[in-house]
Structure 1
Amino acid sequence: MKIIENPKQDDWLELLKRPTQTVDDIESIVNDIFNDVMIQGDEAIASYTSKFDNVAIESIEVPFDDIMAAESKLSAELIEAIKLAKSNIYKFHAAQKTDKLSVETAEGVICWQEKRAIDKVGLYIPGGTAPLFSTILMLAVPAKIVGCSELILCTPPNKEGQVADEILYTAHLCGIRKIFRVGGIQAIAGLTFGTESIPQVYKIFGPGNQFVTVAKQLATKYGVAIDMPAGPSELMVVADESANASYVASDLLSQAEHGVDSQVILITNSKVLLGEVNQEISNQITELPRKAIAEKAIANSKLIYLDDMHSMLSIINVYAPEHLILAVKDKDFFTYNIRNAGSVFIGNYTPESAGDYASGTNHTLPTNGFAKAYSGVNLDSFQKSITFQEISKEGIQNIGNAIELMAEAEGLQAHKNAVTLRLKDLES
């Protein structure tokens, strides 16, 4: 990995630049596919599946019998692991429920807020180089807690045109019955417009590569909401001399193996640790089945030495990492002052992998600096907050004149009249 010592703050943005293409680079491809799917539906889906996934599929919906048969093909140990993860994710997200909020803002004026589930939700589950069945838990569990009535799952087929048994089993465990063998841009387009097979949805969730990320952003132009911009994975580790170099290297590699466009960064004030981590990466990467992918991601990554904690904190907030590991003695200094991060992992025994699978927090998080403005997926992601109000005769008399004056000042006479007529009736 490239080692940089005490870079100037003016150079941080260029130094921390993500290895992703710009929207302009790929937007025209996304637009073409969206237009084809909008017009040709399933026919376009099949064509692009053949082109990008190199497989011909007669029916894109997975038969129910295949879904039911998946459990028998998995080991009992994996099934128990999935159930444990589901239980912890359920506990953390169920605890996020909030009660109806009601306030009498003025005498006779009652305002309240209630939450309602989003009816139709699309779940995109990456399945290209690795079938990410854990993402189903992260999305379907909170959706079921709030009561989303329709969950539609799209995931790329493998080389045999099938969906991984782990995905099918986990989806069924979470109550999903509609699963489609379609990935990439064409899957997002199908969920956006609806096709002969794929139902149209109101909001699309799930991570993906750069093309999926841009496709989700384009979906918003057609009235479909998305969870957040969630593209290639990234991890920043902030560590001092108290960190374990072997652990740090394993954490960096755990994200590097996601994809060639992933990025991992180490920030440390210990030159000794920096050297040890660099050596550990060289040692550990040779044993990885996804070595070729990890090596390309490591080429996009950095080991950065900064000699003071305030600079280390500042660079966190400038980068706004999707995942942040704090392997430091003074954890409170960082946890109290971090403003921009998707999910934070504290201490030598809190690997990022825990959040990916079984600790209970959600692993669908903002990338590419969007943690400056976006939260990761949570219970509220699957709900809308609707406000209500009820005003009595006394209430409209208490606030009516203020409404009239403000409406008149804005030049909106009909707004004023809507109040004036009521006030006159109450005076008579």
Structure 2
Amino acid sequence: MINCVKDLDQAKRKLKSLSARTSPESQKAAISTVVEILNNVQKEGDKALISYTERFDGFHPNPLKVPFEQLEIAWETTPSSLKKALELAKNRIEDFHQRQKPTDLNYTGIHGERLGRRWRPVQNAGIYVPGGKASYPSTVLMNAIPAQVAGVERLIMASPADRNGYVNKTVLAAAHLVGINELFRIGGAQAIAAMAFGTRTIPKVDVISGPGNLYVTLAKKAVYGEVGVDSLAGPSEILIIADHTADAEHVASDMLAQAEHDPLAASILLTTDPTLAKAIPEAIKQQMSNHPRAEICKSSLANWGLIVICKTLNECTYLSNLFAPEHLELLVENPHAISENINNAGAIFLGNWSPEAVGDYLAGPNHTLPTSGTARFSGALSVETFLRHTSLIEFNAEALNATSSAIRELANSEGLHSHSESIRLRTEENF
């Protein structure tokens, strides 16, 4: 069911293949479909959205917008225990994101010049919440809350409906909880196109965030530049570093928690304990008995599951940094010491009491994380995703006179005559 290797070079090759599990070659057909959808939505607006929704989702979306009353009813009829869980998650996520708000920068230079950087929110943002194989109210919270903390004026949401035209009830309840008033029952690349270009019904936004399938991701990639996007998320992944102190049942459950997302999800264990490695397949088999998503788990683990037996924990951290996982669990005796050697990871979960699921739902930090090795250069969705910063520059005469010679030297070196002249005409200094 799950591949196990001991050789370091073989492990490196396996991890590289896992990072590339959505190769450009496999995306060719999807790319042409996405381009067609984007062009049609840009040209025909709502008409194209209705046509694609009928074609892909099996219902006629009239209207495209979910009536606000449906959000209210969804919240009112949600079981109290689930309401309390959603409220707890909202409060914790909001508290964390409030703490990450950047502050404006202002200071005075040596000649009295004033320099700074000012943060302001985008005016309009759109969040995409996928449907398909599962419902994701947690994605509503993780995307809407940072935007609201940033101060976005208008926040809309798009999410696909079922064949009866209904968006998942708990997704609607979460949307009501965070105060989303404009929710559109469209999905896929057509939803991204609508938010990027705008239609008669759906407003054009400045930033789009939220995960989705391959078509959604390719659409976000294609519209980047027309709008900002949070990231280009691929299939989800977990990498677990475990030593002799780890419990096989816990490791197996955490690998399955990733595998049940998607047939393309990757679950990886790096361990220094051969006994643990040997116990994992049987533990997984037992936990998959009567599992409601067993087929998805089997496909994921058979194709993208991996166990690597390493000689040392240093070898584990080396391979982990090479893979740059979305989620990294440290089920080791001293997780803090190991974490200091981790440079590339979307989120690090330290110790036995911090399974990935706590981060997925309510720990506080955002669960929208870089995948497929992109943790080497990017991080989680944050308040800053919905902010832009502007530089502030205020020179006085003394500052300009003191630096004019250097400015003109640089301008002249680039052959930009008027750049140099704009300085000369303001100063008494002449070359």
**TM-score, scaled to structure 2:** 0.95
Q: Return the letter of the residue paired with 1:209.
A: N
Partner of 2:55: 51
Sequence identity of aligned pairs in percent?
36
Residue 6 in structure 1 maps to residue 10 in structure 2 = no
The counterpart of 1:210, out of the listed 203, 206, 214, is 214
The counterpart of 1:256, out of the listed 241, 259, 263, is 259
Q: Return the letter of the residue paired with 1:238.
A: I
Q: Return the letter of the residue paired with 2:165.
A: G
Partner of 1:158: 162
The counterpart of 1:324, out of the listed 324, 328, 333, is 328
Partner of 2:126: 122
Once residues 183 and 21 of structure 1 are traced to their aligned partners in structure 2, the CA distance between those partners, rounded to angstroms, is 23
Does the 8 Å CA contact 2:331/2:350 hold for their aligned counterparts? Answer: yes
Does the 8 Å CA contact 1:108/1:393 hold for their aligned counterparts? Answer: no
What SS does the corresponding residue of 1:389 show, helix, strand or coil?
A: strand
The counterpart of 1:175, out of the listed 175, 179, 198, is 179
Partner of 1:401: 405
Per-residue CA deviation, residues 297-324 of structure 1 (Å, 9 max, x unaligned), is 1112111211222221111111111111
Q: 1:97 to 1:14 in 2, by over 3 A?
A: closer
Alignment of 1:147-296 (within 5 A): 147-221=151-225, 223-296=226-299
Residue 297 in structure 1 maps to residue 300 in structure 2 = yes
Once residues 44 and 336 of structure 2 are traced to their aligned partners in structure 1, the CA distance between those partners, rounded to angstroms, is 56
Once residues 424 and 122 of structure 2 are traced to their aligned partners in structure 1, the CA distance between those partners, rounded to angstroms, is 38
Q: 1:198 to 1:127 in 2, by over 3 A?
A: same
Does the 8 Å CA contact 2:127/2:210 hold for their aligned counterparts? Answer: yes
Does the 8 Å CA contact 2:344/2:376 hold for their aligned counterparts? Answer: yes
Partner of 1:27: 31
Does the 8 Å CA contact 1:229/1:370 hold for their aligned counterparts? Answer: no
Residue 65 in structure 1 maps to residue 69 in structure 2 = yes
Once residues 111 and 3 of structure 2 are traced to their aligned partners in structure 1, the CA distance between those partners, rounded to angstroms, is 65
Partner of 2:43: 39
Q: Return the letter of the residue paired with 1:253.
A: L
Q: How big is the alpha-carbon RMSD for the aligned residues of Structure 1 and Structure 2?
A: 1.6
Question: Unpaired runs of 5+ in structure 1?
Answer: none
Deviation at 1:66, TM superposition (A): 1.1
Once residues 54 and 7 of structure 1 are traced to their aligned partners in structure 2, the CA distance between those partners, rounded to angstroms, is 49
Does the 8 Å CA contact 1:19/1:262 hold for their aligned counterparts? Answer: no
Once residues 417 and 21 of structure 1 are traced to their aligned partners in structure 2, the CA distance between those partners, rounded to angstroms, is 52
Once residues 399 and 155 of structure 2 are traced to their aligned partners in structure 1, the CA distance between those partners, rounded to angstroms, is 43
Q: Return the letter of the residue paired with 1:235.
A: I
Deviation at 1:330, TM superposition (A): 3.1
How many aligned positions are there? 425
Once residues 14 and 357 of structure 1 are traced to their aligned partners in structure 2, the CA distance between those partners, rounded to angstroms, is 29
Deviation at 1:25, TM superposition (A): 4.2
Q: 1:31 to 1:233 in 2, by over 3 A?
A: same
Does the 8 Å CA contact 2:16/2:323 hold for their aligned counterparts? Answer: no
What SS does the corresponding residue of 1:423 show, helix, strand or coil?
A: coil
Once residues 269 and 378 of structure 1 are traced to their aligned partners in structure 2, the CA distance between those partners, rounded to angstroms, is 35
Does the 8 Å CA contact 2:75/2:176 hold for their aligned counterparts? Answer: no
Deviation at 1:332, TM superposition (A): 3.2
Q: 1:215 to 1:20 in 2, by over 3 A?
A: same
Partner of 1:84: 88
What SS does the corresponding residue of 1:45 show, helix, strand or coil?
A: helix
Partner of 1:16: 18
Bigger shift: 97-106 or 32-41? Answer: 97-106
Partner of 1:112: 116
Q: Return the letter of the residue paired with 1:103.
A: Y
Q: Return the letter of the residue paired with 1:326.
A: L
Residue 134 in structure 1 maps to residue 135 in structure 2 = no
Does the 8 Å CA contact 1:342/1:371 hold for their aligned counterparts? Answer: yes
Deviation at 1:103, TM superposition (A): 2.1
Deviation at 1:165, TM superposition (A): 1.8
Deviation at 1:11, TM superposition (A): 2.5
Once residues 28 and 321 of structure 2 are traced to their aligned partners in structure 1, the CA distance between those partners, rounded to angstroms, is 26
Q: Return the letter of the residue paired with 1:4.
A: V
Deviation at 1:204, TM superposition (A): 0.7
Q: 1:288 to 1:13 in 2, by over 3 A?
A: closer
Once residues 49 and 18 of structure 1 are traced to their aligned partners in structure 2, the CA distance between those partners, rounded to angstroms, is 31
Once residues 17 and 366 of structure 1 are traced to their aligned partners in structure 2, the CA distance between those partners, rounded to angstroms, is 12
Bigger shift: 408-417 or 78-87? Answer: 408-417
Bigger shift: 350-359 or 64-73? Answer: 64-73
Once residues 66 and 112 of structure 1 are traced to their aligned partners in structure 2, the CA distance between those partners, rounded to angstroms, is 46
Deviation at 1:54, TM superposition (A): 2.1
What SS does the corresponding residue of 1:208 show, helix, strand or coil?
A: coil
Partner of 1:98: 102
Per-residue CA deviation, residues 182-202 of structure 1 (Å, 9 max, x unaligned), is 111111111111112111111
Deviation at 1:113, TM superposition (A): 0.8
Residue 351 in structure 1 maps to residue 355 in structure 2 = yes
Bigger shift: 282-291 or 114-123? Answer: 282-291
What SS does the corresponding residue of 1:337 show, helix, strand or coil?
A: coil
Deviation at 1:13, TM superposition (A): 4.6
Deviation at 1:129, TM superposition (A): 1.5
What SS does the corresponding residue of 2:240 show, helix, strand or coil?
A: strand
What SS does the corresponding residue of 2:155 show, helix, strand or coil?
A: strand
What SS does the corresponding residue of 2:224 show, helix, strand or coil?
A: helix
Partner of 1:338: 342
Q: Return the letter of the residue paired with 2:420.
A: K
Bigger shift: 356-365 or 40-49? Answer: 40-49
Q: Return the letter of the residue paired with 1:36.
A: N
